[in-house]
Amino acid sequence: MGREPAGIFERGDPIPEAGARVAVSVVTSPYVAIESSLAARGCADVVPFYDLAESLRGRHPLANGWFANPLTADDQREIEGVHAGWDDDVSRAHHLQFTVWRRLREEWTFERAPVSTERYFIPEVVDSLRERETFLDGGAYHGDVSLTFAAKVARLRVIAVEPDTANRAVLAERLRGLAGAEVLDCALAAKDDAAAFSEGYGFASKLSAFGQVKVGIRSIDSLDVAPTFIKLHLEGGELDALRGARQTLRAHRPIVTATVYHNADGLSRTAGWLMRELDNYRFLFRNHCWCAAGAVVYAIPRERRQ
pLDDT for 249-284, tens place per residue? Answer: 999 999 999 999 999 999 999 999 999 999 999 999
**Which residue in 179, 175, 120 sits closest to 142, CA to CA?**
175
Q: Distance (Å, rounded) from C-alpha 198 to C-alpha 180?
A: 29
Measure the N-to-C terminal CA separation of the chain; round to a whole number of Å. Answer: 52
Q: Distance (Å, rounded) from C-alpha 157 to C-alpha 180?
A: 6
* Per-residue CA distances from 296 to 36, 98, 130, 212, 259 (Å): 28, 11, 21, 29, 4
Predicted confidence at residue 209, as pLDDT, reads 87
**Which residue in 81, 97, 74 sits closest to 283, CA to CA?**
81
Q: Distance (Å, rounded) from C-alpha 192 to C-alpha 218?
A: 4
Lowest mean pLDDT, pick from 15-24, 41-50, 240-249, 263-272: 15-24
Residue type, 97: Q
Would the pTM count as exceeding 0.75?
yes
Higher pLDDT, 226 or 15: 226
Q: Distance (Å, rounded) from C-alpha 44 to C-alpha 269?
A: 38
Predicted confidence at residue 61, as pLDDT, reads 86
* Per-residue CA distances from 203 to 62, 91, 199, 200 (Å): 9, 26, 10, 9
pLDDT at 114 over 70: yes
Lowest mean pLDDT, pick from 55-69, 88-102, 124-138, 143-157: 55-69
Predicted confidence at residue 7, as pLDDT, reads 84
- Scored b (16 or more CB within 10 A) or e, 103-127 reads bebebeeeeebebbeebbbbebbee
- Whether the Cβ atoms of residue 6 and residue 22 lie closer than 8 Å to each other: no
Burial tier of 258 (Cβ tally within 10 Å: 0-12, 13-18, 19+) = buried
| Mean confidence (pLDDT) of the chain | 94
Predicted confidence at residue 156, as pLDDT, reads 95
pLDDT for 195-230, tens place per residue? Answer: 999 999 999 999 998 899 999 999 999 999 999 999
Q: Distance (Å, rounded) from C-alpha 235 to C-alpha 137?
A: 14
The domains of the chain, with CATH numbers, are 1-59 (no CATH), 75-305 (3.40.50.150)
- Whether the Cβ atoms of residue 198 and residue 165 lie closer than 8 Å to each other: no
* Per-residue CA distances from 23 to 45, 49, 64 (Å): 8, 5, 14
Taking the CA atoms of 25, 57, 22 and 262 in sequence, report the sign of the dihedral they define: negative
Predicted confidence at residue 306, as pLDDT, reads 59
Predicted confidence at residue 206, as pLDDT, reads 95
Predicted confidence at residue 19, as pLDDT, reads 83
What is the 3-state composition of the chain as percent helix, strand, coil, each rounded to the nearest 5? Answer: 35, 20, 45
pLDDT for 72-105, tens place per residue? Answer: 999 999 999 999 999 999 999 999 999 999 999 9
Q: Distance (Å, rounded) from C-alpha 205 to C-alpha 42?
A: 36
